[in-house]
Amino acid sequence: MRRFATPLLIGYVLGVLALTIPPDFSPDPTDYLGESAWTPLQLVPFAVDAPSFLLNVVMFVPFGVLLPVCVPRVGSFWRVLACSVAASLSIETAQLIINLTLDGLRTVDVNDLVANAVGGVLGFGLLRLARPGPPSRP
């Protein structure tokens, strides 16, 4: 199973990076998800629209499924949570750097971090439902 999961994980990671990292140079920042103004930092937890939060949750579900399959030692709730937070924090940090250096109009949002962590552990939960018991060793 790992033979198929590894290329899927690599493709998934590349897809997430393609969606989240390139700067947004749209001419009108008010077009961004229908918001009235662009705000580079969102540090208030749970002050987010439901569709945006849900999309971020869904985006990280595959991470929670594929990572423990590819790296069995990550196969616990706490490790998947830690990896999900680390991956999401890396994305948010990259977006902040892009904003500061290129004025890339990416929003750095604590809610993305929360939603991505939730998605990762939900994916892990789905994996555990599909494969009960300890993760298989190679």
Reply yes or no on whether the pLDDT at 69 is more than 50. yes
Measured distance CA(118)–CA(56) in Å, rounded: 9
Type and span of the H or E element at 109: strand 108-109
Which domain covers residue 105, as residue numbers?
2-24+39-130
Q: Is residue 78 part of a domain?
A: yes
- Predicted pLDDT of residue 39: 65
Residues 109-129 have pLDDT tens digits of 999 999 999 999 999 999 999
Count up the domains in the chain and report the number: 1
The answer to whether 122 and 64 are in contact (CB under 8 A) is yes
The reply to whether 80 falls in a domain is: yes
* Residue-wise pLDDT tens digits, 6-64: 999 999 999 999 999 988 766 655 555 555 445 678 888 888 889 999 999 999 999 99
> How far is 107 from 99, CA to CA, in rounded Å?
8
Measured between alpha carbons, how far is residue 133 from residues 2, 63, 126, 127, 136 in Å?
A: 17, 19, 13, 10, 9
Question: Rounded mean pLDDT of the chain?
Answer: 86
Kindly state whether residue 116 falls inside one of the protein's structural domains: yes
Residue 91 lies in a domain: yes
On the question of pLDDT at 2 being above 90, the answer is: no
Residue 30 lies in a domain: no
